[in-house]
Structure 1
Amino acid sequence: MPQLTRTRAAVYLAFLVIIWGINWPLSKYALLYTPPLLFAGVRTLIGGVILVLVCLPRYKLLRLKQTWHTYLISSVLNIILYYGLQTVGLNYLPAGLFSALVFFQPVLLGLGSWLWLGESMFGMKMLGLVLGFLGVAAISSGGFTGPISTIGIWLAIGSAVSWALGTLYMKKTTGQVDALWVVALQILIGGLVLTGTGSAFESWSDIHWSLPFVVCLLFISIFVIALGWLVFFKLVGSGEASKVGSFTFLIPLISISCSVLFLGEKITLTLVAGLILILLSIVLVNSKPKALRSKKKLHTA
C-alpha cells in the first residue's frame, strides 16, 4: 500500500480519533433505545452494506475463491470478537475500567508489530506505549467504581487481544487482497453474525425507533463503522502499525472530553494527568533514536 503524505496522514488520524472518540458517548446514548447486541449488529451491518455498495464497481478485485479465508479471519478478529466481547463485557465491568483494558491494544500492537512484522522497537518507544496505557487508565479511573468481575476482565482483555491480532493480520496481508473489499466484507460478515446473535438472545420489539435513535444509528454506521475502519486500516497499511496505535490512546480522552462538554461531567485532575501522559506517549512512540536515524541516512545515501 502506498505511503500517505504527512498532511493526509494527519488529517486521517484527526478524523479517526475524533469520530471514534465521540462514538463512545453516542453509543451510550443510543443504548437508551435498543438492546446492546442488536445495536452492535445493526450498526455494523448498515456500515458493511454501505461499503459493499461502494465496492461493487470493483467486483473483479474481490477474488472470493482465492481470498475468502482472509475476509473471514479479519471479520472474526476485528468485528465479531472485538464488538461481541466488548458488548457482553460492559455488563460485567464499570465502563471506565473496561475501556482502559481494551486500550491496552496499542501496547499489544506495538509488541506484535516488533515480533511479527519486523518494525523497530527501542526503549523509548516501549516506554511511550506503557505511558499511553497509563494515561488511558488515569482518564478512565472515574469509572472504576462498581463491582469487579473476573469474567468482565477476561472479556475486556479478549477484546483488546482480538483487535490487536486483527490489526496485525490486516497489516500482514496488505497487498494480498483489495484494500476496500477486505474492510467492506469483514464488516458485512461481522454485522450479519452480530445481528443474528442479537436476534437469538434479544427482541426487536425492544428497539424504540425514535428520530434521535435513527440519526445516532446512521451517524455511527456511516462515520464510525464504515469510514472509521476504512481510515484505520488505510493508516495501518501505509505506515508503522505501532505508531498508528499510539494515536488511538487519544480516543478515550476525546470520549470523556465530549462527556464534559455535552453531558455536564466535570474536568478532573486525573483527566489532566491522563492527557499529559498520552501526549508524552505519542511523542516517544513517534520519535526515533539517533542510531536509527543514522542507519536510515546510510541506506538512503
Structure 2
Amino acid sequence: MKPIDTKAIVMGVMFGIMWASAFTSARVIVQYAPPLYALAIRFLLSGIFAVLLARVMGQSWHLTRRQWIATLIFGVTQNALYLGLNFVAMQTIEASLAAIVASTMPLLVAFASWTVFGERIRPLGVSGLVAGVVGVALIMGARLQGQVDMFGLGLCVIGVVSLTVATLSVRGASSGGNFLMIVGLQMLVGSAVLWVPALAFETFDVTWTWQLGVAFAYTVIVPGIGATLIWFMLVDRIGATPASVFHFLTPFFGVLTAALLLGEKLGSMDIIGVVIITAGILAVQMAKQKRD
C-alpha cells in the first residue's frame, strides 16, 4: 500500500477552507447588491485576471476539444447554475445552511461515478462516505431546528446537483495542463450566461459600502480564482470522487466562518460533525491508495 497522499490532503483542506468562506462573503454581497449582477461581474473580473495571468505564465488558450467541452459544461453548471442559485438563495437563508447543502455533493458524485462511469468504490471508501453523511446529518439537524425558507433551500438543492455535474466534467478539463487558463475561461463562460437573467430580472441597485468592497474583492481572488485552481489540480491528482469528499469540510468551515464574521450560531453538533467528517475523508483517501 502506498503512503497517504499528504499533499493531496493539504490541498483538499485548503480548498475546503477557501470554498466554504465564499458562502459568508456571498451572504455579505447579496445584502448590498443584486446577486446575479454581482456574480456576473465577479466572474468577468476573475476570468479576465486568470486568463491574463495564465498567458504571462506561458499557458495557451488553444485547448483540446475535450477540454473545451468540459470547460463550457463546468462554466455553466458550477458558475452559472450552482453559484447563481446559491447567491439568490442567500438573500433568504443563512450562509451556513447553504454551505451544508453544498457539502452533500460527494455522495452525488460517488453515485454518478458508480452508475454512469462504472467506477468501483472499495468498502473502506464507502465507510468514509457514510461517515461523511453522518457528520453532515448531525450538523444539518442542528441547523434545521429553526425556521428555514424552503424556496431558498430548494434553490440550494438544485444548485448542488449542478455542482455534481460540474465536478464530473473536470474529468475532461483537468487532463492536458493549462489549469489556470481553464479556470479563467470557465469563469468567463459563467459570466456570459449570468448576464442574461441579471439583465432580464434584476435592477442594478447597489448600496456602496466598505463591507461590499471587501467581500467582493475577497470573493474574486480567494474562492473565485484560488479555490478553483486548487480544485482542478486536486482532481487531476487524485480523481473526481476522492477529491469531492473534501466538500464534506464545507459545513464546518462554512458554519465556523459565518459564526465568526456574521454571528451565525455554532453549536456542539457542528464540532462533533466535523470530527466524523475528517475521519471519513481519511478513510476515502486510504481506500484510494489501496486501489492504486
Same fold (TM over 0.5): yes
Q: Are 2:156 and 1:146 equivalent residues in the alignment? A: no
* CA distance in 2: counterparts of 1:264 and 1:183, whole angstroms: 32
Q: Secondary structure at the match of 1:61?
A: coil
Partner residue in 2 for 1:124: 124
Q: Per-residue displacement from partner, 1:124-180 (whole Å, max 9, x unpaired)?
A: 32232132133223224344232563x555533321221111111111343357333
Change (3 A) 1:264 1:180: closer
Change (3 A) 1:134 1:229: same
1:121, distance to aligned residue in structure 2 (A): 0.3
Partner residue in 2 for 1:174: 174
Q: Per-residue displacement from partner, 1:75-124 (whole Å, max 9, x unpaired)?
A: 11221121123234446766555443332211111233344556440233
Stretches of structure 1 lacking an aligned partner (at least 5 in a row): 297-301
Alignment TM-score, normalising by the size of structure 2: 0.84
Question: Match of 1:136, as an amino acid?
Answer: V
* CA distance in 1: counterparts of 2:272 and 2:287, whole angstroms: 25
Partner residue in 1 for 2:32: 33
Q: Per-residue displacement from partner, 1:220-279 (whole Å, max 9, x unpaired)?
A: 101111111111111011113222211221122012122333444454232122123212
Q: Does the 8 A contact of 1:96 with 1:142 survive in 2?
A: no
Change (3 A) 1:72 1:278: same
Partner residue in 2 for 1:86: 86
* CA distance in 2: counterparts of 1:38 and 1:242, whole angstroms: 32
Q: Secondary structure at the match of 1:248?
A: helix
Structure having the higher Rg: 1
Q: Does the 8 A contact of 2:40 with 2:192 survive in 1?
A: yes
Q: How many residues align?
A: 287
Change (3 A) 1:32 1:176: same
Partner residue in 1 for 2:254: 255
Q: Secondary structure at the match of 1:203?
A: coil
The correspondence of residues 1-301 of structure 1 with structure 2, limited to 5 A, is 6=5, 8-57=7-56, 61-63=60-62, 66=65, 68-90=68-90, 97-116=97-116, 119-144=119-144, 145-147=146-148, 149=150, 152=152, 154-175=154-175, 178-204=178-204, 206-288=205-287, 293=290
Change (3 A) 1:60 1:262: closer
Q: Does the 8 A contact of 1:100 with 1:137 survive in 2?
A: no
Give the percent of matched residue pairs that are identical in Structure 1 and Structure 2: 28
The farther-off stretch of 234-243 and 105-114 is 105-114
* CA distance in 1: counterparts of 2:63 and 2:275, whole angstroms: 46
* CA distance in 1: counterparts of 2:72 and 2:60, whole angstroms: 17
Change (3 A) 1:181 1:118: farther
Q: Secondary structure at the match of 1:276?
A: helix
Q: Secondary structure at the match of 2:286?
A: coil
Stretches of structure 2 lacking an aligned partner (at least 5 in a row): none
The farther-off stretch of 20-29 and 107-116 is 107-116
Q: Secondary structure at the match of 2:79?
A: helix
Change (3 A) 1:94 1:37: same
RMSD of equivalent CA atoms: 3.0
Question: Match of 1:146, as an amino acid?
Answer: Q
Q: Does the 8 A contact of 1:55 with 1:180 survive in 2?
A: yes
* CA distance in 1: counterparts of 2:92 and 2:5, whole angstroms: 41
Question: Match of 1:121, as an amino acid?
Answer: I
* CA distance in 1: counterparts of 2:214 and 2:92, whole angstroms: 28
* CA distance in 2: counterparts of 1:261 and 1:270, whole angstroms: 17
Change (3 A) 1:141 1:45: farther
Alignment TM-score, normalising by the size of structure 1: 0.81
Q: Does the 8 A contact of 1:94 with 1:143 survive in 2?
A: no
* CA distance in 1: counterparts of 2:18 and 2:47, whole angstroms: 17
* CA distance in 2: counterparts of 1:261 and 1:94, whole angstroms: 13
